[in-house]
Every structure is written in C-alpha cells, then in structure tokens.
Structure 1
Amino acid sequence: MNDNLKSFLSVLALVVLGALGTWWWYDNMELRWQSRRHLSEAAMKDRMLAATLLLRRNGRVVDGTGSLGELVLPKVAGGTMILSGASGTALPGQAQEMLDWVRRGNTLIAEPRSLTSAEKAALAALEPASDDEKDDEDDDEADATDKPASVLASAPGKAEARKEDKDEDEDEDLPPGKPAPASSFAAAADGDPLTDRYGARVRRDAKACRCRTQPAEADKDKPEAIAAARRERDKTVSRLTLPGKTYALELDGDMEELVSLPGAAAPLWSDDDGGAVRVYREGKGQVVLLTTDYFNNYQLDERDHGELLLALTDLAPGRHVTIVRNLNVLPWYKALWRHYSLFLVSLAVGLALMFWAAVRRFGPIVPAPKAERRSLLEHIDASGAWLWKADGGRQVLLDAARDDTLALIRRRAPALFRMPESQLWAMLARDCALLEADVIEALEQDAASHVTRFTRQIRTLQELRNHYER
C-alpha cells in the first residue's frame, strides 16, 4: 500500500468520524420542540370550552348553562341547543317544553340513553343471530364433539364467559334464555321522555370492540402494524353526507351505536348506517340524536367532528347556540328557591318582624312603678285639671299665681308699691318688656274663660316672676 492510498483512507476515516460525531451531537444535544397534549384549567372546568370557542369564531352567539334545570326554556333565544352529557335526564315537563321550543323552528342536539337489560333482551329475541355468532356456536359444537368428558365438564363455564364477553355490561335480572315482555319497553320509557318518541337508544358496538385490537409493543412502530391499525380504525368510521353536500364527513364510530326499538320513528336523514347521527323532523325544527358527545374538549378535534358541529348549528336560521354542560341537577340553594320561593320570602319577612320587635325591647324589662309612690307633679296636674273644670276653679288658680308673683315683687322691689297702681302696672310692663294691657289683664282682671287668654295671663305672671328672681 503506497503513501497516497494511506493518506486517502486516513482522510476518509476522519471525514466519516466527523460526520458521525456531528450527527450524534445534533441528534442528542440539540433542543427540539415537542408537542404535548395539555388541558388548561379553564378546559378542565368547562368540557365544552373548545366547542364554545369554535362557534364564536365562526360568528355564533354562544350562551352556556350549568344544567338543564337552570334554564327557563320558554325564554331561551331561538337557534340551537346542545345537551352535552345530559342523556335521559330531562323531566317530562322539561322534555315537553324543549319540544315546543324545537317546533318553533329551532334545533336540539341530544344523546339518547343506553339500552336497559330488558330492552337488550327484547331486541336479542327479535334480531337474528349474526354470522360471527353462528360461527362461534358451530366452533363450540365441533370442539365439544372432539374433546373428552373431563373437558366438556368445564364447557358451561366457558359458554358463560363468552356470553359475558358478548355483552359485558348486561345485567342478570332476567332468567337466561327468556326474552323480556313487550311491556318492558313502556317501563323503560319513563327514563328518557325526550327521545322516547323516536324510539332510539345507544348500545355498545361489539364489532367496534373487536376491531380495536392493539399490536404488540415491539411491532407497534412498524409500517405494517401502523397500516393494519389504520385499517382497523377505518372500520369503525361512520360517514355522513349532509343534505346538499357532495362529500361525506367522517365521524369516529367509537364503541357505541344508535339502535331502534320496535315501532321507532324513521329519521329524516342520518349517516350511512344510522348508527352515529339521526335527524328527526319536529314541527318547523329538527331534533338531532348523536351516539356520543362528539363536541367535548377530547373529541372535537377528532376526524370531522368540528365541521359536523358547525353544520348542525346551520340547520336553524338563528345564530344563537345554548350549551347545557352538565346533568339535570340544580344546586340545593337554587332548587330550594325555585320550588319554595314564596315560603322563603314569608319566612324572611316573619324573621325580620320578630327581630324588629326584639330590638325595640332590647335589654331587661323595667319593673312597673308602684301605685302608692306617685310623683308630686301628678298630684299637681290632677288638681289643676279638676280646678279647671270646677266652678270658680280658674279664678282660684289665677289668684294663687297672682298673689305669689306680687309677694315676690314686693320682697325684691318694695319701692314700686309706693306708686299708684296705674303707674305701678306701667313700670312693671316697661321693666319686663311686656305690653301694659297684658300686665293689667294678669294683675287686675278676672280669670279668662278661654284657654288662650287664661294661658296668656299665667305666662305674663311667670315672666314677671322670672324677671325679679334674677
């Protein structure tokens, strides 16, 4: 090997080593943004926050309420109402009010409740067995003929296990193999008065459950496993072609489907198999039944659920959307006020009156005074009232006040009484700033029979007394 070749190989090795080092550095040491699913605190409190923002961004006016019980349905604005997660909780009166609201040309979006065990048994008796179930039964019979008696002894337990897998959420209230009577549908109808008129229910889709098989952990990143998972997921997709549209919306089939009870109403239009969306005519408006809540924060961004929401809110001419977020449950204080407001107002008024009466008598009660210890003023007041009514009583009162006043003036100003009476009365009126006529009336004339004049006489005497007492 010559020197040129050695130099070339050395340079090539350095280039490869530098390229590998550069790749390792950028692969392990470089910072990259990674997307992570995160729910804000507002989204955790409001499961319909994403739908609210989407509708408002597209020109809808959105109002939300905590529960159906808080709505005053006759006053709800026209447009669209979404009952989110409130399937089967409407009371008969509320259901009738909602249907009346829909008949005026509005749209109601709701979810029917799930099948009961009686309804499942009745539907199982009416529907023929599917090909898969027949194959399972044939396989069971073939296995039973080939296995020994010791294995056959455990067959009933395995059959029961297969039955539970087939319908794992079915109750065991009815005897096995005995279908429910027809009256069971009427008994179950009490639980969902809103959607009973359409005969629609929700049940678990066994086919969708079997399609959701997960690949092994080691193979989940392989292209073949990803393609197989996509094909299995596509089997559960529901396709809906809206009226007047040429393309179909893809909806997540999930693991539930809409089924019809005997005598169910035919929908106005629905998805391809009627298992995801059904629309019924109700007066001038429409009632939309969904198999699940496609519009919550977790499912709105799946497939074409957002476009479905906008399309359904376009069915009604109004742009107003009312979202009911929770079940038909009122807080205790709101329910108490709604049903017993008159009683509460009466109770509050009664308590206020009792409090007012108690405040007026706040503190210990003062003992009543004893009758034998009456004050001197009461005696004087009673004597004056009696003399006022008695014959000559007024003159007695006036003479007593007059004599007392003249005696006081004689003690304080004896020189005045050396004057004649006419000059004396004029001097007293001047010194006390009184009218001479009032002084003469008080000191010379008889007691007046009129209350006003008698009071003036006594007042004049009192003013003379007050002047010479200083």
Structure 2
Amino acid sequence: MNDNIKSFLSVLALVAVGASATLWWHDMMELRWESRRTMSEAARKDRMLAATRLLQQNGRVVNSVGSLGELIVPKVGGGTMILSGASGTALPGQAEEMLDWVRRGNTLIAEPRSLTSAEKAALAALDPSSEENDDEIEDEEEEVEEPKPAAAPASAQGKDEDKPKDDEDEEEDEEEDHTPPEPPARSYFTAVASDNKDPLTDRFGARVRRDAKACECRTEPAEEDKDKPEAIAAARRERDKTVSRLILPGKSYPLELDGGKMELVGLPNAVAPLWSDDDGGAVRVYREGKGQVVLVTNDYFSNYMLDERDHAQLLLALTELTPGRHVTIVRNLNVLPWYKALWRNYSLFLISLAGGVALMFWAAVRRFGPIIPAPKAERRSLLEHIDASGAWLWKADGGRQVLLEAAREDTLALIRRRAPALFRLPETQLWATLARDCSLPKADVSEALQQDAASHVTRFTRQIRTLQELRNHYER
C-alpha cells in the first residue's frame, strides 16, 4: 500500500470521526424545544375547569358545586345542570327534586349507571349476540390482567427435565389445590350498578355497557413503531371507527364524538329518546315536562375529553336547549362531609343544643373554684341597739314617758353638778332662769321639764331637743 492510499484512508477516518462527533453533539448536547402536555394545579383539583372557562367565555353564568349533597336544587337558577361523574349516585329525594327542576323547562345532563347481571340476562334473551360480546370482552380483560409466570433459571429447568412425568403431575395438582382462585375484576361501574339504583335515569331505561366494536378496534402498535407515521395513521383510522356522529336539531352538519369503550343501550320497554346520535350509543335526549334530560355515555366535558373531537361544541349546543343562561356544574359524586350533612339536616337542633350548653356553662361558671367560707357575724354597734330600743319604747305603752323621764333626769343631774345654786330658786323662777341663760322659750323649757311626754311626734321631738340644748349649754 503506497503513501497516497494511506493518506486518503487517514483523511477518510478523520472525516468519519468528525461527522460522528458532530452528530453526537447535536443529538446529546444541543437544547431543543419539546411540547409537553401538562395540567395545572387548579385543573387537577377541578376536573370541570376547562368546561367552566369555556362556558364563561361564551356568556354563561356558571355555578360550580362539589357534590350533589351540597346542591340545594329548589334554589338553582333556570338553565342547564351538568352532573359530572355522578352516575347512579343520586338519592330518590334528590332525583325527584332534579326532575321537578327539569319539568319547569330546564336541561339536565347526566350519565346512567352500568348494566346489572339481571339486565344483561334480559338483553341476552332478546339478542344472544350481545351476551357473546360481553363474554369476549370479559375474557379479554382477564387475559390482560393475568400475570405471566416468570422464566425459570437454567438450573431449575434442568432439574425439572430430570424429574419423572408422574412427579410433575403430582406437584401441579398440589399447586392447584393450594392456590385460591382469583376473583373476577370488579370495575367501578359494576360496583355502582350492583350495589345502588339510579332513580334519576331508571325511568328512561338507558344503561351503559362495554362497546364490543371499540374493544375489537383496540389494537396498539409495537413499542418500536409507535413514532412512525404509518403506525400513527393506522391508530387514527382504528380510532375513527368508534366515532359517533350527532346531528343537532336545526343543524345540517354532524358533530363527531369519541365513542370510547362504553356505549348506551336500552332495556326492554325503554322510553324512546327525543333525538340521539346515529346509533344511540353516545348521546340520548329525553323529554321531561317542559325540559329535557340528556344522557351521555362518557364524561365528555371533563378536562381530559373536552378538547377532543367536537365535545366543546356539543357542550355549548346543549346549554342552548333552554333559554336560561345559568349553568350549574356538579363536579364529583354524591359525597357530603359529615359536618355539612349534620348542619343541613339538623341545624335547628344544633342551634338549640348550643344555646342550652351555653346557658348551662353560664350557670355553672360562677361556682368554679374552692368554696368560700361563710363570713363571721359581727356584733352590732351600740347606736343600732339604742335605735332599736327607742323604736320599741315608742310603740310600747308608757314607753315615751320612760324615754322623756330618762332624758330629763340626766339633764337635771348635769345642771345640778354644774350650777347647784340654781336649785335654791323656786321652780317657776328656775325654769325662767334656764330659759334666759340658754336663749330658749320659757314655754318650751317648762314643757320639757314639767309636762308629760307628748303623744305627737313633733312635740315629743321638741321636748327631747330642748333637753339636749340645756345639756349642751352646761357642758361647755
């Protein structure tokens, strides 16, 4: 090999290495924008947020409640009510209230419950092919859910090959005896349908079941072919086979709805719908008084399905069936917290109980703490005794004279000690001298020192006051 060929091969190798390095750099190190579908926190909390925003943008007044238990139907404004995911959960009283509300000229959008075993048997008696389809669907689900056994290691396989066939059969029998049979899968709709009734939609005879056509068309491409245009186009064609088309009254063009894996079916002697989609498997509308009840097979108006097909246009069209612009959305099932249910049904009792407890607390709060000892009885003052004695003597016979004589003797004894010379005078002159010295009327002095106790209160008081003034004069 000459030098030219070696140089050419070297350059070719360098070019290949450089190209590979460039491709690796662009593939691993360069930043690219990728579209990812995410959901906000508000949308995760409210599954009907997209429908709420769409209705508000189109001039509807939307009121959203958490569950049927929180909804007070008689106070709901006229318009449209959407029960999202509340199939088969309405109580008889709630269902009757909602139907009365519809009869006044409003629209109710709801989902019926799933078929029960008895209803499946009744449909199978009329159409045996439906039972075969249901059995095939259940078999497919069981096959999908059945776990595959793990591959045994090579050593274990060798040991199994060395064992006799009879021993293998015995081991298999033992395993079958000890392994309990797996219970059949029980979906949410089956649980609701078998355990509860649906008084809201039972009157129409409409139920929900698995769609056999949708299950047949459910083919997924291989993992390595998912991103290929041919696989995407094939999946789209398969999905288009389950599309339901609905022509609204007064419209000339059909709306395309995603049929999904469920379909609406009618029980024997079911009520004929006012109008529906092409095969009656997605939407059925029934007349109820002046209003209408719309039954849908899927939750078309949730955040997950509103942007698919023509579901948003269907929502706007259904809210235009009645003249009212008010839309009430019930987001979840008929679940009411215990404290709200207690307050809603027994509010008067709770108010009365709270008032009684408050009164009992107010009556008992004054007796909190240790018992205070009884106060000691104090002796009354001398003036109280004198006052009580005087009041008693005033009312007793001769008691006034006793009071006057006691005051008179005490006063004369004081004057005799202070001015004994006055008592050498005659009584008439003595009374006149006392009246002159004390600046008192002579008649008052004579009445206080000589006369009996007066029966009138004023005169008796004047006698006592005169004696007191004589006493005060000679005590100086």
Return the TM-score normalized by structure 1. Answer: 0.68
The SS at the match of 1:279 is strand
| Aligned counterpart, 2:92 | 92
- Once residues 47 and 404 of structure 1 are traced to their aligned partners in structure 2, the CA distance between those partners, rounded to angstroms, is 108
Cα distance, 1:339 vs. partner? 2.1
Partner amino acid, structure 2, of 1:64: S
Match of 2:311 among 305, 310, 313: 305
Deviations 1:111-152 (A, max 9, x none): 00111122112211221327987xx9xxxxxxxxxxxxxxxx
| Aligned counterpart, 2:48 | 48
Deviations 1:251-302 (A, max 9, x none): 1111000010111101111110000000111111111000011111111111
| Aligned counterpart, 1:196 | 202
Deviations 1:26-83 (A, max 9, x none): 6665433221111111111111111111111111111111111111111101111000
| Aligned counterpart, 1:57 | 57
2:215 equivalent to 1:209: yes
- Once residues 314 and 404 of structure 1 are traced to their aligned partners in structure 2, the CA distance between those partners, rounded to angstroms, is 115
Partner amino acid, structure 2, of 1:357: A
- Once residues 454 and 284 of structure 1 are traced to their aligned partners in structure 2, the CA distance between those partners, rounded to angstroms, is 102
2:266 equivalent to 1:255: no
| Aligned counterpart, 2:36 | 36
Deviations 1:397-434 (A, max 9, x none): 899999999999xxxxxxxxxx96689689xxxxxxxx
Q: Does the C-alpha gap of structure 1 residues 280 and 130 become closer, same or farther in structure 2, counting only changes over 3 Å?
A: closer
| Aligned counterpart, 2:328 | 322
CA contact (8 A) 1:85 1:326 kept: yes
Give RMSD over aligned pairs. 4.7
2:244 equivalent to 1:238: yes
Cα distance, 1:332 vs. partner? 0.6
Deviations 1:321-350 (A, max 9, x none): 101111111111011112222321222111
Partner amino acid, structure 1, of 2:81: M
Cα distance, 1:87 vs. partner? 0.8
Match of 1:293 among 283, 299, 311: 299
Q: Does the C-alpha gap of structure 1 residues 242 and 380 become closer, same or farther in structure 2, counting only changes over 3 Å?
A: farther
- Once residues 321 and 94 of structure 1 are traced to their aligned partners in structure 2, the CA distance between those partners, rounded to angstroms, is 18
Deviations 1:134-188 (A, max 9, x none): xx9xxxxxxxxxxxxxxxxxxxxxxxxxxx9xx97699x9xxxxxxxxxxxxx97
- Once residues 412 and 312 of structure 2 are traced to their aligned partners in structure 1, the CA distance between those partners, rounded to angstroms, is 110
Cα distance, 1:224 vs. partner? 2.9
- Once residues 395 and 25 of structure 1 are traced to their aligned partners in structure 2, the CA distance between those partners, rounded to angstroms, is 136
Match of 2:235 among 225, 229, 235: 229
Q: Does the C-alpha gap of structure 1 residues 19 and 97 become closer, same or farther in structure 2, counting only changes over 3 Å?
A: same
- Once residues 194 and 353 of structure 1 are traced to their aligned partners in structure 2, the CA distance between those partners, rounded to angstroms, is 46
CA contact (8 A) 1:398 1:447 kept: no
| Aligned counterpart, 1:338 | 344
CA contact (8 A) 2:83 2:110 kept: yes
CA contact (8 A) 1:448 1:454 kept: yes
Q: Work out which of the two has the higher radius of gyration on C-alpha atoms and give 1 or 2.
A: 2
| Aligned counterpart, 1:5 | none
- Once residues 200 and 328 of structure 1 are traced to their aligned partners in structure 2, the CA distance between those partners, rounded to angstroms, is 20
2:68 equivalent to 1:68: yes
Aligned positions, number: 381
- Once residues 399 and 78 of structure 1 are traced to their aligned partners in structure 2, the CA distance between those partners, rounded to angstroms, is 102
The SS at the match of 2:224 is coil
Identity %: 77
- Once residues 312 and 264 of structure 2 are traced to their aligned partners in structure 1, the CA distance between those partners, rounded to angstroms, is 20
CA contact (8 A) 2:454 2:460 kept: no
| Aligned counterpart, 1:413 | none
| Aligned counterpart, 1:121 | 121
Cα distance, 1:385 vs. partner? 6.3
CA contact (8 A) 1:214 1:229 kept: yes
Partner amino acid, structure 2, of 1:100: D
Deviations 1:345-376 (A, max 9, x none): 22211111111111222323334568xx5642
Q: Does the C-alpha gap of structure 1 residues 169 and 355 become closer, same or farther in structure 2, counting only changes over 3 Å?
A: closer
CA contact (8 A) 2:89 2:334 kept: yes
Cα distance, 1:220 vs. partner? 2.6
Match of 2:380 among 343, 358, 376: 376
CA contact (8 A) 2:67 2:331 kept: yes
Q: Does the C-alpha gap of structure 1 residues 71 and 23 become closer, same or farther in structure 2, counting only changes over 3 Å?
A: same
Cα distance, 1:20 vs. partner? 9.7
Partner amino acid, structure 1, of 2:297: T
Cα distance, 1:17 vs. partner? 11
Q: Does the C-alpha gap of structure 1 residues 235 and 329 become closer, same or farther in structure 2, counting only changes over 3 Å?
A: same
Partner amino acid, structure 1, of 2:300: Y
- Once residues 352 and 223 of structure 1 are traced to their aligned partners in structure 2, the CA distance between those partners, rounded to angstroms, is 74
CA contact (8 A) 1:270 1:277 kept: yes
- Once residues 40 and 55 of structure 1 are traced to their aligned partners in structure 2, the CA distance between those partners, rounded to angstroms, is 19
